[in-house]
Structure 1
């Protein structure tokens, strides 16, 4: 079987789905942070646990990549918000780290995605940049990871979500659908007939989960102050994300969210619910691009994907639930990368048939 690596590298998290020659599919996710390090990393021998990271060199700098990379970042570190994010050294470091962590070394198909807003601009650049041989490791590494990429496929991130949805529900291929990718800095949306896109009615809304976290942060700061606790002007997005991931279902069906402040647990459930107005605003702006009801009238299903899919689901149900099927994909954070894997497998099959 071919070796396939599918990478959905977003502003918030990097998702990797790979399939080796034995057919085994592996998945991993890590934060899209790439702090520069000047420390030579060696195996920990001081009783502390080893970090789950790799170090890669881009230009003159070494970058730490992986599940624990955020532990190498200082308090001033911030994620990139650039439109040309895919052309930055940090993004390149994340891509190389993802390739190394995939464990595959003779990659037949590498599938990567870009936001709809930058796909046309950087499609060719990305294809040529990651095609060929790569030597991955820190500048001081005695042995580096050597791997080869034989073919690169570049598509849009919401296209991956739609491909994955069709793989699970083939009937969607005969319908008009709207795929929504709730990402960290943008909410991308793709209207398509089956898998044929309506590009003029597709696009992206700035803000994403980052904008929601900023909105939520202001409400949380007010609550903390009102309860007589030491004022906190900001609560790190990582902590808010963790809090939302660990919500507990109450007896009445309401999800309860608790944020740890020092040794205390602060109930921020009301803040989370009130902050959802920001997600509704994203849907309003999306409707402007879609052309309002004229487009929604021919759409049968709304497909949700991305790390923020679960948070926007209630707003989508309220807006479209009576008139449209809402497709919430399993493990929505992997939906796009899973779709990329299907795309890569189909490409490999076509290539084999032509031999």
Structure 2
């Protein structure tokens, strides 16, 4: 099946994708950015066992089979195929496996335009390599995929584009905005005026959700007298409002958030210093998986500026990438 545009946001925390399913309808999907080596055989699910079949897609990258999808175990975050919290993550087999999984799960075998995103501080360094790597015909183990064109944009521009379509009165192109995208590994910010990026007032740095989770784990470990490594489970507990079970105790994660917010404070100091005066900004547009945790600190940092936290902020970039791709396709034609 062919699509004119497929947008894929391969984040450090989750992989999101979006495409036009029908006129006026956008289909989206998401799964953890975890790629684990595929087992030689599986004993899970099926055959009347009573256990659910894991929702995974097997892909092959450079001869190595991987599993990706919602059913991948959280333990895949650790070990040889664990999360790669490094700038050149986009060149890894893990990144390719996640992208391939998103494409297969979207159901498309021919893509006229694939739109990808990169953190602000790595865009210039890796965008060309992404284009060269993925344009053309590929077989990632589930059949040949043809990608005719690849566009790579700064991740926060996806959020800005999406926000503009939602709230044209407040987020119009002729106004000034600060877009803050809180990811798993990085926090990126883009200062935009008349839909042009002011590079001097934009930037990105490590300081996303993973650092907050790590701080919480360290503090729980101090209290318990034993190191805590399972930040993936801490993440789930935070998002779902659940206690963190540690041996025979149920620990309230929220009691550790105050200290962990020092990570956010450090990031916002950098943002404020880089952005400078904000009295002319129409809004701060906030997106990303860590948006809820960052909002109170952003309010303290910029007390008089309107903060626009988008609904479903995890999909803001992917939805924006789709809009950018469709606009580019119309321009070409």
Q: Same fold (TM over 0.5)?
A: yes
| Equivalent in 148, 151, 154 of residue 150 of structure 1 | 148
Let me know the Cα RMSD of the aligned residues: 2.2
- Is structure 2 residue 4 aligned with structure 1 residue 6? no
How do residues 231-310 of structure 1 correspond to structure 2 at under 5 angstroms? 231-247=225-241, 258-262=243-247, 264-290=249-275, 292=276, 294=277, 296-310=278-292
Partner of 2:182: 182
The answer on whether the counterparts of 1:177 and 1:194 sit within 8 Å (CA) in structure 2 is no
CA deviations over 1:275-310 (Å, ceiling 9, x no partner): 2222111101222322x3x3x233221111111111
Partner of 2:294: 312
The answer on whether the counterparts of 1:5 and 1:110 sit within 8 Å (CA) in structure 2 is yes
Partner of 1:45: 47
By how many angstroms is 1:46 displaced? 6.6
CA distance in 2, matches of 1:24, 1:169: 18
CA distance in 2, matches of 1:6, 1:196: 22
By how many angstroms is 1:151 displaced? 2.1
Partner of 1:89: 93
Partner of 2:326: 345
CA distance in 2, matches of 1:79, 1:334: 20
SS of structure 2 residue aligned to 1:117: helix
CA deviations over 1:218-242 (Å, ceiling 9, x no partner): 222334x2xxxxx441141211111
Partner of 2:107: 103
The answer on whether the counterparts of 1:4 and 1:20 sit within 8 Å (CA) in structure 2 is no
The answer on whether the counterparts of 1:187 and 1:204 sit within 8 Å (CA) in structure 2 is yes
SS of structure 2 residue aligned to 1:239: helix
Task: Name the CA shift for 1:104/1:23 in 2 (closer, same or farther; >3 Å).
Answer: farther
The answer on whether the counterparts of 1:3 and 1:104 sit within 8 Å (CA) in structure 2 is no
Task: Name the CA shift for 1:74/1:14 in 2 (closer, same or farther; >3 Å).
Answer: closer
SS of structure 2 residue aligned to 1:8: strand
Task: Name the CA shift for 1:21/1:351 in 2 (closer, same or farther; >3 Å).
Answer: farther
Name structure 1 gaps, 5 residues minimum: 138-143, 226-230, 248-256
By how many angstroms is 1:23 displaced? 5.6
Please report the TM-score for the alignment, with normalisation by the length of structure 1. Answer: 0.85
Partner of 1:253: none
Partner of 2:314: 333
| Equivalent in 52, 66, 69 of residue 63 of structure 1 | 66
By how many angstroms is 1:212 displaced? 0.9
Task: Name the CA shift for 1:2/1:90 in 2 (closer, same or farther; >3 Å).
Answer: closer
Please identify, of 310-319 and 268-277, the stretch whose mean Cα deviation from structure 2 is larger. 268-277
CA deviations over 1:161-183 (Å, ceiling 9, x no partner): 11111111223222111111111
The answer on whether the counterparts of 2:116 and 2:321 sit within 8 Å (CA) in structure 1 is yes
By how many angstroms is 1:82 displaced? 1.9
Aligned pair count reads: 327
The answer on whether the counterparts of 1:37 and 1:72 sit within 8 Å (CA) in structure 2 is no
The answer on whether the counterparts of 1:2 and 1:21 sit within 8 Å (CA) in structure 2 is no
By how many angstroms is 1:317 displaced? 1.5
Name structure 2 gaps, 5 residues minimum: none
CA distance in 2, matches of 1:90, 1:39: 19
Partner of 1:252: none
By how many angstroms is 1:71 displaced? 5.3
Partner of 1:228: none
CA deviations over 1:18-53 (Å, ceiling 9, x no partner): 223566421111111112235145874371321111
CA distance in 1, matches of 2:78, 2:185: 20
Partner of 1:27: 28
SS of structure 1 residue aligned to 2:285: strand
